[in-house]
Homo-oligomer: A and B are copies of this chain.
Amino acid sequence: MTTDWKAQYARRLEWMTTSAIREILKVAQSPDTISMAGGWPEAALFPIDQLDQVAHHVLTEAPRESLQYGLTDGLPALRAQLADMMSEVGIPATMDNIAISSGSQQALDLMGRIFVDEGDTVLVESPTFLGALQSFKAYGANLVGVPIDDEGVCVDALERLVRETKPKFVYLLPNFHNPAGVTMSLERRRRVVEIADQYGVPILEDDPYGPLRFQGDPLPSLAALDAERYPENAAAGAYVKGNVVYLGSFSKLLAPGLRVSWAVCPGDLAQQFVMAKQGADLHTSALGQAMASEFIRRGWLPAQVQRIRDTYRERRDAMCEAIAEHFPEGVRHTHPEGGLFLWVTLPEGMDAVALLRDAAERKVAFVPGAPFYVDGSGQNTFRLSFACVPPDTIREGIKRIGEVIRAHMG
């Protein structure tokens, strides 16, 4: 076979193989290692019995809906439920604004497919979610990073870069940022949607963790603030005008293995999504959609989400307390109010990859931060997940990392 891969694919290959960290993380995956490296939710919180009940229900009571070919835009009942859920949090969505995707990863891919021609600029936070970089890179995007701090994306830098680079869209994670664990302030959110309006630039708001807030009051989504700006939306009772594509997911609320997520699209963008999706995978698992829909219909989602919040809060607390006790001075970290991740910044000049190598030998693992940056910075940063490790184990893991940090500092 002539392995005459396309040019864009060669670029992708390069991107995927330059990460030496993969190898170390493989070592760190041995069962006796305390891994705070994953991006996974806690499997012990999967509502197994309830999912078993809804699977039985939809397979036997609605076999065509759960087993036959489905519509590319998604199961109508689920789209209607999601429109209601979105409206309750201030996004005036109707079914026509909702497109189901096979995980949010697919929604990121479809955004690339719809918007990005070779060389087009996409603005991303610096750091940002690795999977998004992979999706956008596959379409030849020129990725430009916008700095973030404890209040989320720096809006002055954002405005300047929007003006200078004329991006096809801006990708943002306002709640409990992956990897940084920070939450965008209300003031910044308002400014982001102003910038979007002023420059006519689409915003891709990725919110897989939004419902998992375990501290403080919820903030309105960018989509909700954006929708408020245009009287057409209130008049239509729909998100007919706006600049924000909002992504939600069942992966962290129910189970990622179902691969069911959704996009809220303003105007006629949902139709573009659906056309792009048709050639990509025809439709999302009908069984997964039917199960999510029945789970919501039975009213089980709020208690399930609360159970996750309670567990993650306890683990976040354990992690923050252990860091205060075991990490040396000069090491900074974020204080997530929700989600799965906490971000650590070592003193300038320290190398998180070298740290991981030694940490892996001490049977503890995290993810070095550099790959989350598009500009090669972040060498002195790393990500910790508190989602999948019980509090006592977190304390032991943080203690070990603290010892390795001290050894590297001294």
Which positions in A face B, CB cutoff 8 Å? 1-9, 12-13, 16, 39-41, 43, 46, 48-49, 51-52, 55-56, 59-60, 63-64, 66-70, 102-103, 105-106, 108-109, 113-117, 120, 131, 134-135, 137-138, 168, 196, 200-202, 242-243, 251, 255-259, 266-267, 269, 272, 275-276, 278-288
Contact = CB atoms under 8 A, between A and B. Distances in A.
Q: Which 3 A-B pairs have the closest CB atoms?
A: A257-B286, A67-B255, A134-B279
Contacts of A60: 48-49, 52
Contacts of A43: 63-64, 67-68
Contacts of A258: 67, 285-287
A256 B51 contact: no
A278 B134 contact: yes
A103 B286 CA distance: 12
Given A137-B279, A202-B2, A257-B287, A40 B55 contact: no
A255 B68 contact: yes
A40 B259 CA distance: 23
A114 to B, nearest CB: 6
A259 B242 contact: no
B283 A259 contact: yes
Contacts of A7: 117
Given A200-B2, A280-B109, A59 B67 contact: no
Given A9-B114, A43-B67, A56-B56, A285 B282 contact: no
Contact of A56 (B9, B55, B202): B55
A357 B369 CA distance: 61
A113 B259 contact: no
19 contacts: A1-B267, A7-B117, A9-B114, A46-B68, A51-B59, A55-B287, A67-B258, A68-B255, A68-B257, A69-B256, A69-B257, A103-B281, A106-B280, A108-B279, A109-B281, A135-B279, A259-B283, A287-B287, A288-B288
B281 A12 contact: no
A53 to B, nearest CB: 10
A115 B4 contact: yes
B52 A59 contact: yes
A201 B4 CA distance: 10
A131 B257 contact: no
B46 A63 contact: yes
A177 to B, nearest CB: 19
A41 B32 CA distance: 48
A113 B13 CA distance: 12
A279 B40 contact: no
B242 A12 contact: no
A274 to B, nearest CB: 10
Nearest to A388: B68
Contacts of A257: 66-70, 285-287
Contact of A256 (B16, B52, B67, B200): B67
A52 B59 CA distance: 6
B1 A200 contact: yes
A281 B41 CA distance: 17
Q: Which of A3, A5, A52, A282 is packed against the most chain B CB atoms within 10 Å?
A: A282
